[in-house]
């Protein structure tokens, strides 16, 4: 009976000791930092991992993640310096560097996220209010994000956090303005296209006019040269005919009449309406084929 009572006391003592051990011992992970609170007051800051002790039932422990944390605030609508409205989507990366100050100022990650949202939003409006949309979409974007990060980092130190990076993930026009802006851009491009087409048509017309003028000049010069060559040929022909006519007038008349006969009597259905005494057929008046009015050939030199 005594042994059973003793075993019961020992078992109860072990249970109580286990409860006290579980209440007084805690483990800090590699990715955590801890604060030991005694009746709501911070008694100790534990930055290193391992098995730690505290007073049971009197002290409690708060754990904070010491890794790099991400925060994505909701998109904000801001107005840049050229009065264009933008919907800007950002994300922030931060780390808790002073758990004690963090506990004293914001206490929890949910509270610090609300503070970060306000800080990022305010810095975003201040910085983007001094830049244009074209600058935000150019290589200056990195410098703009660096300026926002520096402002948020300086404000975050008072909460025991270190803001490592603030990035602009997306900067778009509001949906209600997109269609109007796209329509205006399309109208501007169409106007520019019409201007280019008009300038092209004007240049083409100028080229055609110059080509037509050059063509007219070339044809006129060619016509002039052709007329000159024809005139020279006609003059030479007249000179040759005149020379031949001067040597033997009757033979020249006979030759010209033969050419006229050949040109006019080649067709099978050719008809002539002439008077009987017409001079056109004067070389057909004698039956022996000799010309009727052809004079006798001149006597040879030396004959009487």
Q: pLDDT tens for residues 112-137?
A: 999 999 999 999 999 998 998 888 88
Q: Confirm whether 121 is domain-assigned.
A: yes
Measured distance CA(163)–CA(244) in Å, rounded: 118
Closest CA to 71 of 111, 108, 106, 117: 117
Residue bearing the bigger pLDDT, 292 or 93: 93
Segment 183-197 mean pLDDT:
88
Same domain, 215 and 136: no
The mean predicted confidence, pLDDT, of the chain is 81
Looking at per-residue pLDDT, the higher value among 284 and 80 belongs to 80
Query: Can you tell me the mean pLDDT for 86-114?
Result: 91
Claim to verify: residue 154 and residue 199 sit in the same structural domain? no
For range 198-207, the mean pLDDT: 92
Q: 161 lies in a domain?
A: yes
**Does 26 reside within a domain?**
yes
What percentage of the chain carries pLDDT values higher than 70?
84
Between residues 247 and 146, the one the model is more confident about: 146
193 within domain boundaries: yes
Q: Is pLDDT at 298 greater than 50 in this prediction?
A: no
Based on the fold, state whether residues 168 and 73 are members of the same structural domain: yes
Going by C-alpha positions, the residue among 98, 33, 96 that lies closest to residue 63 is 33
Both 155 and 189 in one domain: the answer is no
- The answer to whether residues 77 and 33 belong to one domain is no
Q: Which of 18-32, 138-152, 259-273 has the lowest mean pLDDT?
A: 259-273
Q: What is the 3-state secondary structure (H, E, C) of the chain?
A: CHHHHHHHHHHHHHHHHHHHHHHHEEEECCCEEEEEEECCEEEEEECCCEEEECCCCCEEEEEEECCCEEECCCCEEEECCCCCEEEEEEEEEEEECCHHHHHHHCCCHHHHHHHHHHHHHHHHHHHHCCCCHHHHCCCCHHHHHHHHHHHHHHHHHHHCEEEEEEEEEEEECCHHHHHHHHHHHHHHHHHHHHHHHHHHHHHHHHHHHHHHHHHHHHHHHHHHHHHHHHHHHHHHHHHHHHHHHHHCHHHHHHHHHHHHHHHHCCCCCCCCCCCCCCHHHHHHCCCCCCCCCCCCCCCCCCCC
CA atoms within a 13 Å half-sphere pointing along the CA-CB vector of 270: 10
Q: Look at residue 304 in the predicted model and tell me its pLDDT.
A: 31
What pLDDT sits at residue 262? 75
Identify whether the C-beta of residue 303 lies closer than 8 Å to the C-beta of residue 296. no
Average pLDDT, stretch 241-255?
75
> Are 222 and 160 found together in one domain?
no
Lowest-pLDDT range of 121-130, 157-166, 233-242, 289-298: 289-298
Residue 116 lies in a domain: yes
Of 65, 82, 112, the residue at which a domain comes to its end is: 65
Q: Given pLDDT bands bounded at 50, 70 and 90, which one contains residue 93? A: very high
Residue 74 sits in the same domain as residue 167: yes
The verdict on 53 and 122 lying in the same domain is no
Do 25 and 110 share a domain, yes or no?
no
**Structure token pair of residue 295:** 């004079």
- Total number of domains in the chain: 3
Of 120-124, 261-265, 286-290, give the lowest mean pLDDT range. 286-290
- Residue 274 pLDDT level (bands cut at 50, 70, 90): low
Q: What is the pLDDT of residue 84?
A: 82
Residue 221 within any structural domain of the chain: yes
Which strands form 41-46's sheet, in the order they lie side by side?
A: 41-46, 32-38, 59-65
32, part of any domain: yes
Structural domain span for residue 202 = 179-228
200 is a domain residue: yes
For residue 135, give the CATH number of its domain: 3.30.479.30
Indicate the range of 20-34, 109-123, 212-226 predicted with least confidence.
20-34
Same-domain check for residues 103 and 143: yes
Give pLDDT tens digits for 51-76: 888 888 788 888 999 999 999 988 88
Note whether 16 and 73 are same-domain residues.
no
Please give the Cα distance from 45 to 97 (Å, whole number): 12
Taking the C-alpha atoms of residue 3 and residue 1, their distance in angstroms, rounded to an integer, is 5
Mark whether 103 and 77 lie in a shared domain: yes
Task: Check: pTM over 0.75? Answer yes or no.
Answer: no
CA–CA distance, 275 with 293 (Å, rounded to integer)? 18
Residue that finishes a domain, picked among 157, 172, 187:
172
Asked which of 65, 95, 114 is the last residue of a domain, the reply is 65
Q: What percent of the chain has pLDDT over 90?
A: 33
Q: Can you give the pLDDT at residue 196?
A: 92
Question: What's the rounded Cα separation, in Å, for the pair 292 and 282?
Answer: 7
């Amino acid at each position: 009976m005594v042994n059973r009572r003793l075993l019961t006391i020992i078992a109860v003592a072990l249970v109580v000791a286990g409860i006290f051990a579980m209440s007084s011992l805690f483990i800090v992970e590699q990715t955590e930092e801890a604060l030991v609170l005694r009746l709501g007051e911070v008694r100790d800051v534990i930055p290193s991992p391992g098995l730690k002790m505290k007073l049971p039932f009197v002290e409690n422990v708060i754990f904070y993640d010491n890794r790099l944390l991400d925060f994505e605030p909701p998109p904000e609508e801001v107005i840049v310096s050229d009065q264009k409205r933008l919907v800007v989507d950002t994300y922030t990366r931060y780390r808790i560097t002073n758990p004690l100050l963090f506990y004293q100022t914001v206490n929890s990650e949910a509270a610090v996220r609300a503070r970060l949202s306000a800080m990022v939003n305010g810095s975003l409006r201040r910085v983007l209010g001094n830049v244009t949309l074209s600058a935000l979409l150019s290589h200056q974007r990195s410098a703009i994000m660096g300026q926002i990060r520096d402002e948020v980092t300086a404000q975050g130190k008072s909460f025991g956090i270190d803001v490592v990076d603030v990035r602009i993930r997306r900067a778009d026009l509001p949906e209600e303005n997109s269609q109007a802006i796209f329509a205006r851009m399309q109208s501007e491009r169409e106007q520019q296209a019409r201007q280019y087409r008009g300038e092209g048509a004007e240049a083409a017309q100028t080229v055609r006019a110059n080509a037509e003028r050059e063509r007219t000049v070339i044809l006129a010069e060619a016509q002039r040269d052709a007329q000159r060559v024809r005139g020279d040929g006609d003059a030479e022909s007249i000179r040759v005919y005149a020379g031949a006519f001067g040597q033997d007038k009757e033979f020249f008349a006979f030759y010209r009449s033969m050419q006229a006969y050949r040109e006019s009597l080649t067709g099978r259905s050719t008809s002539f309406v002439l008077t009987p005494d017409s001079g056109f057929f004067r070389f057909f008046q004698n039956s022996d084929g000799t010309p009727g009015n052809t004079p006798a050939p001149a006597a040879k030199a030396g004959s009487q």
